[in-house]
Amino acid sequence: MFEKKHSITLLFNASKVYDRNVIEGIGSYLQTSKADWDLYLEEDFMARLEHLDDWGGDGIIADFDDPQIQAASLKTKVPVVGVGGSYSNESDYPDVPYVATDNYALVNEAYQHLRQKGIERFAFYGAPIDESQRWAQERENAMLKITEAEGYECHVYRGHPVRPETWQYSIRRLADWLQSLPTPIGIVAVTDARARHLLQVCDHIGMLIPEKVCVIGIDDDDIARFLSRVSLSSVTQGCFEMGFQAAKQLHKILNGRKGTQKPILVPPAGVAERQSTDFKAIKDPHVMQAMHFIRQNACRGIKVDQVLDYVGISRSNLEHRFKEERGHSIHNEIHNEKLKKACNLLKQTDQPTATIASICGYPSLQYMYAVFKKHFNKTPREYRDEAKGYESEEDARESA
């Protein structure tokens, strides 16, 4: 027996990574269920929300973080499933089936990641209070609640709205706040976009990341990650699962069953750990400076002499300090940083091994092969296969 075909409207902004991942989850549900839907994704829905009844179809899945979308959706006569952020106050939830990202769990994931790194000072970089960004206030409140329960003070700064005409002023005020903080400190940013502000300002004022400031965002947005020299650690939201669950709820309703009455809270998918939280407690300021320079430049083929020039002390002095703090030589630190970069690229990308060797500053692909054989008793190709659990096209060609 075939199900009746339904026309479903999706009210999301497909230019945002969060919304795209939710939409992807909706699509996944359609592929794995018997739902027969025609999906309509309005390209410019904000201009026509007042006429939503005329084109809403048989059901709506909508971004309820936007007050205008929520208000317009709730006026329609068709079934609606809302998607948005969680609330600490139950009365703030809409009176429709609702699937939410768990804001408390997102912030707690970021906080626990910093704690595991040994951080004992905390701050939160939020956003100005805005009715269209209620999730930002929920995340700020969650951070304050978590740190208070753990016995820590949390420094909060909301900053300013991002506008071209006030950008330089906003950045200067953010720099003032950063310079007022005790260090080392871990900062949870309300989004990856705000986290990128922190990375840029720290670079401008010479505040070392992660030696002085550890930064973690929320979203795991590839765009934000690649726009900074320091790669950003971030909490990955369960957006795909949110879309899947929202589609499942609407499918139930269209089939004459009740949707889940209580909000469905979707936990984060985990932490994407990168350089911005690669914190190791270092007390020696000269070693801290050297570590910062090495992290920034190891893959550019630097030698020990260039590290010495940057720090400005003798080789014997810095080598002694390195042995005390790190347990190995400056040369080994440069080597380890290049190897770590190569491993990450092999695991996370499909770049050819020759390209990765060049990116990581190895003189040749053969040299990188020798390094991997020595450390892992594997070739880079074998390391990638084991990490990814499959044979890539490049590797298949190599072995053919």
- CATH number, domain of 108, equals 3.40.50.2300
Inside any domain, residue 397: no
pLDDT in tens, 159-215: 999 899 999 999 999 999 999 999 999 999 999 999 999 999 999 998 989 989 999
**Residue 191 Cα to chain centre, angstroms:** 8
Per-residue pLDDT band for 101 (boundaries 50, 70, 90) equals very high
Based on the number of CB atoms within 10 Å of its own CB, is 151 exposed (0-12), middle (13-18) or buried (19 or more)?
Answer: exposed
Q: What Å distances lie between residue 376 and 343, 345, 346, 363, CA to CA?
A: 11, 16, 14, 19
**Residue 349: is its pLDDT beyond 70?**
yes
Whether 289 and 352 map to the same domain: the answer is: yes
Q: Residue 66: helix, strand or coil by DSSP?
A: coil
Whether 151 and 201 map to the same domain: the answer is: yes
**Residue 21: is its pLDDT beyond 70?**
yes
The phi and psi torsions of 82 (rounded to 5 degrees) equal -95, 145
Q: What is the pLDDT of residue 55?
A: 64
Inside any domain, residue 314: yes
Would strands 59-63 and 6-11 be described as parallel, antiparallel, or unpaired?
Answer: parallel
pLDDT in tens, 288-320: 889 888 988 899 889 999 999 999 999 999 999
Whether 96 and 243 map to the same domain: the answer is: yes
pLDDT in tens, 34-62: 889 999 886 655 556 666 766 658 999 99
Q: What Å distances lie between residue 10 and 71, 308, 365, CA to CA?
A: 15, 58, 48
**22/14 Cα distance (integer angstroms):** 9
Whether 112 and 54 map to the same domain: the answer is: no
**Residue 224: is its pLDDT beyond 70?**
no
Whether 74 and 161 map to the same domain: the answer is: no
**ω before 363 within 30° of 0 (cis)?**
no
The closest alpha carbon to 225, from 275, 178, 172, belongs to: 275
Whether 59 and 162 map to the same domain: the answer is: no
In whole numbers, what is the pLDDT of the chain averaged over residues?
89
Q: Greatest CA separation found in the chain?
A: 81
Most confident among 67-71, 119-123, 319-323 (mean pLDDT): 119-123
Side-chain-side CA neighbours of 56 within 13 Å: the count stands at 22
Inside any domain, residue 163: yes
The pLDDT of 98-123, averaged and rounded, is 95
The closest alpha carbon to 42, from 23, 18, 25, belongs to: 23
Long-range CB pairs of 141-148 (<8 Å, 24+ gap) are: 141/88, 142/88, 142/103, 142/104, 142/106, 142/107, 142/108, 143/107, 143/111, 143/188, 145/104, 146/104, 146/107, 146/108, 146/111, 147/111, 147/122
For the chain, what is the domain count?
3
Structural domain for 224, as ranges: 103-236+272-277
Whether 377 and 299 map to the same domain: the answer is: yes
Inside any domain, residue 400: no
Whether 146 and 229 map to the same domain: the answer is: yes
pTM of the model: 0.75
Q: What is the pLDDT of residue 53?
A: 66
The pLDDT of 391-395, averaged and rounded, is 43
Angle at 22 between CA 18 and CA 28, to 5 degrees: 145
